[in-house]
Each structure stands twice: as structure tokens, then as C-alpha cells.
Structure 1
């Protein structure tokens, strides 16, 4: 299959290509660059000199045969036997995933998603040898604040899609013109329609530097950065790097776990004494992740290639792998259909399938091998730009204000909201936009 850009493709061949679970948690279709073995890759200087810095229009069209093959594979699914418990303690329940996958193979229409995407201004540009595909929606309001938003796993730019309108045109959603944003939503390397790195080194710090290149290439001298999940790791990295023009960051999954608490968690011990009720609740949520919810991350941190073979070959396996997290991380009590429609979940699952990016996206865990929640490992104290944090009630853990203030010395905004989960922009796009307006409002005076 091919994902085609309206610009001429420059290359003729395509590249196809802690200690505990808490520490492991967070540690297009093809890359348009030649698949050059790592040992034979040109130097950074040579590559930079030869790199095409142009910004080319991008258009999505998945070939019919790819979608026909997807339905054929779904119809041929060999299902495992039913779980032996009446809850989700063994993982995704058979009845739930069979309903979703059967709908995927019969009534779901990817072409509707393609049409929505192609109605957006989409582009691709090459940074450090990897094609970065992105959505770039400019506000009609003057003096809009440029904003780059980074998705996570198992997300994609699709999880930000519903927030584009409220962010770029706030007056149409009950806001003020002066709170408008120009929105840039890139796919991370190895995800979606961006290229797949053919060598190592594309961790969060590298992505953070690439995002600054992207914003400067788009002509923005000043901008802000936002992220959840991996996006929060990238936003934190940008805050540490503090490139010229970065006014501040906002995260909705902050790295706030103090080192003494992280050590206790890593040892599997009960909550230490002296914690407030809010801190103890956060500790228990993280301990539950330790014990019951982090096996996926352990696999991707240590063996992303191994788990990729099954996910690249089985649509049902791909769907179950992602549905498990939609169930656990939405503000839905384990029933993600309360927060996201079947079509919305399948949009994201299908994107991973048609781009064959389960393995390449998982390598980000291997590259990072870091504890996203640990403030010391995430080096939040080194962030030198203003930091804003929103805590959503259905997040993997609800970061206490006390931990957040200790972890982010440059904290300028902290707010706990009453709705939404880990996929904040996807579940509550209006509330998400309102939080960004409030968080970044003081920084607009610096434009």
C-alpha cells in the first residue's frame, strides 16, 4: 500500500520497516527515506546539508486492496477461549472485543476518516532524515498564539482532532477571539503518517528538538507546547531545552512523583507514612498500575520487535491491544464506549493498522526506557519556562498539587477539572480547549 503526498516524493524506495512496571510505563505508512543501514548512514552534517527543508502538501489515500485485506483478515480471526472471570482482571473481555472487531469488519468506513483528514490542511517536511507529517490549522483571528500539540500512545493526531475548532475559533465555542491559537499537530516519528526512523536515537529529547525546528520552519518566532502521555514527556523535554521562542508548556499527565515515593513504589511497599489523603490516593493508583496494568509497557520497553509481529499480522490482536487501554484510561469506569464512539476508537486502531506502525511506535518506549511519572528521572526541576498543569479525574493517576509544586518550580497554573480521562482532548475537547486558553492566557502578553 502507499500513503501519497500531493508533493513529489523525493526517494524511489520506501523503508518498511523502572526496574518495575511503573518505571517501564513510559520509559506514513512507510518512511519515505531510503533504508540505509545505521553503520552506513551519512553524518549529521552531510545529511543536514542535503536535506530538503521544504513543506509539502500531504494527502491520505489508503489503497482499496489494503482495506479489502483488512476485512479478509478480520473474517478469518481465530479467537481465543473466553475469559474465566466475570470482570476485566484478565484483560479485554471476549464479548467486548468481538463486538468491536465484527463491526470493524462489516460496517466501519475508513473512507469517512480519510475525507475528514483530507479536509484539514496537512503537510509533510523532513527533519533529520525523517519525514514528519503534521496538521497545521491557522486561526482566522489575528494575533493567534502558535501551539504545537503532541499526542501519545495508543493515540495519534486523531485524538486532538475534535479540539481543533475550539482552539482555532474560540468565538464559535463560547470563547473570546483573543484566546485563539494557530494549531500544529505532528505525528511523532514512527507513528501515523510520519516516517519510521531506520536507526536509533529518536527519543523524546530528539523529538523535542525536531518540534522546535518544525515551528521555526513554519515561521513562528514564539509559540507554546502541549502534551499528554508521550506528549507530556516531549513537552517536558522542550521545557528543559528552552529553545528561543518557547513561551511555556502545558501538560495533562505531569511527572510529579517525588523520588522517595518512587522508591517505595519500585519496592512494592505500602504507601509511606505522612502522605495526605490526596497523595495516598495517587500512590494507590500508581501501585495498581504496578501490579495489574503495566505489562504492555514492560513488553514495549524490552521487546518492541517481538510484540510487533503479532500486532502487524492480526487486526483482532491490534484492536484488543489498544482497546485494553481505551477501557482502562478513559473516564468511563472501564466501558470506553461511554467516552468514545466505536468509530472514534476504530479510526485510531485503523490508522495504526494501515500504516503498520505498531512496532515502530512501540520503539519509543525502548528508546526512552524512563519513568514518565518520576520527577527526578524526568528532570522537571530543570525546566526553565512557565509550566501549566491540568489534572483530569480519569487520568492514570491524579497528580496532587503538593507533588506538582515540588516537581515543577516554574509552575504557573494548576487546575483540577471534573470530567475527562487520559485522552483529554479526545474525551472532552471543549474543556481541554478551555484549559489551554486559561493556562496560556498570561503568556500572550509576551508575544
Structure 2
């Protein structure tokens, strides 16, 4: 049973690692893969909490059979019905046809829509309880973290919170399952990249969920992706609290689009002047080379944000426009914002950046730098002033 890991008191990790999928949700790169975590509680009655993606059905069902021998699970708890956690449900029900499927009413509606499963439903409401024997499960509805049906399951005896997608992250579990078994610094950036790209849009609902769960004595956090937090669950709760408040660290992210290098010269000038002003955390991204998910990750982390683009067909560089649209959708907040751009025979880039600032109620730091064709000494002086003013606001 090498693929089954005991967590505590008859609670087991029965998840799988996905080392082949290249894009999560067909959008976000998975350079280090991802885990789909499922859990089993072996008691007088047996409960399985969430399933896995349909690509891993065989190994997943084998994990359950290895754990239970000839017994069958009694309940399948669905905290989150997104297909990376529910894809195995139909095969699960075929293997265990008497299973009782537990979820809230919104879950059941989606269960029917996705999988046409209309029987054996156990509909639960907020704070309802199921008694397995030694273990009692109670349910906490946390809508829009990050789907409308999401909920969390709390096991009272062990203080384990099965949290669905909340408190999770990208990256496979390479032997170690628990936060105290792995180098957690290896996972830090991928956990934040997961939050900022998948959950971040719903930060106000994350705050509501954290507040709602504050009266629980949480000893272990078992999410559907990433490590199980048994040594220091307070750490991941604290991280989610900060990220959902959009609290930032001191530093600047610069993102630019440049076709022929003239806009990049502005970037180099601003970055150098930021450094001479004492800013040590400076991240510079060419929008044409780096996937937006990595850029968004650092934008969520650092307070300073400087965006620049060449003009393209009387508008902004298309890949920069894509980033702006995602940031607008996520309602990105709490930044010191600077903008710059370039044009040759027609403007357009800077006006789109100014529109972005207006849409999110930012007041860009002066000056806005806009060059024609190639930067002059006067333009470089404006770059230095912009860097100085951004640095000053960060220091304040």
C-alpha cells in the first residue's frame, strides 16, 4: 500500500500525483505537476472525501481497495465538484453502487448536470453532522472559494479540516505528503501561484471562510492539492489571510512588451534607477517570454507594479492586453502603479494602460513616460524620476 499514507487515527491519504498534464484547467502551466488529494476515514462506517481526475481512476480505486480490503465505503463526501476532483465519481459509483453521496444542494445539482447521478444523495446544510462511529464529520459551506458549491468537512476527533481547494497549491507530492516531510520552501511559490491565479479573484469570500472557521480547533489541514499541513497548519491559514487581504511585500514587478527593443531600453533605465533608490526586490518580465501565471504570482506578492508596452496596430501589445484583462478580472489591488509606453506613427499603448488604471481606481505615479520611436535623454530623465517616485511611495 505504498500509495496510501496514514495521516492520523484511521484517516488516510489515498490521492494520486499527476506528472503528465502540462496545463491546469488548460491554462496554467504545471512544470512540477500537481497532486489530486483524496482521503479515507476507516471507522464503523467508511467515508471517502473527494475523488480524483478521471485520468487516474484505476490507481485511485486500487488505493481504496488496498486500504479497505473487502469492505466498501459508505459515504462519498463531495467538498468540490470541479472535474479534477470529481472525474472519478462515475467509476467510483460503479465500483461501489450502494455509496451514499454527500454534498450540499448546489453540489447535487451540478452532480446531476455533470454525471447524471440522481440517486443516493445525502443533502447537507451548514453545520450538519454525520457520525461514522469514532469520527464525527461536520460540514461548513464556503461558497465561491472558488465555486458556488464549495464546502469544507471538519473531523472533530482529530481536528482535521478537509478544505477542498482552499489552502492547496501546485506541485506533485514527491514522496513526502506532510509539511514536515518536505522542504516547504520548494512549494511556497507554487502555492501562491495557485492562490493568485485560481482562487485570488474570490479573495473576499476567502476572508469570509477564514472568519467562519475561526472557532474550529484545526490540527491538520488536508486540501485537495499540495501538502497536508499537520505540523504548522497556522502557516497556510496565515498565508491565505494575507493574500486574500492583498497585503504586499516591498518590491517592484516590471512587466513590458517590446517588439524591437526600444521599449526594453526604458525598462532597463527604470530598473537601474529603482536599484539606486534602494529597492532590492525587483522582478522584470518580458510578457512575450513568461507565462502570465508566473507574472501574476509576483504581482500578488509585491507592492510596486510598473507596466509598459509598445504600441501595436494603434493599440497595446496583444500579450500585454491579455495580462491587463486578467488583472482587471481578478480585481488586483494595493499597488503603487507606474506606467510607460512607446509608439512610432500612432499611439495607443499608454491610453490602454491609463484605462486599466482607471478601471481599478489607481492613480498612477508621475510621470507617465511615453516615448516616440527611441528614447531621448529627456525620456531617460523621466524614467529616473518615475523610479524615484515609485521608490519613495514604497518607502512610505
Per the normalisation by structure 2, the TM-score is 0.30
Higher helix proportion, which one?
A: 1
Q: What's the TM-score once normalised by structure 1's chain length?
A: 0.27
Higher relative contact order (CA 8 A, sep 6+): 1
Compare CA radii of gyration and give the structure with the larger one.
Answer: 2
Whose strand fraction is larger, Structure 1's or Structure 2's? 2
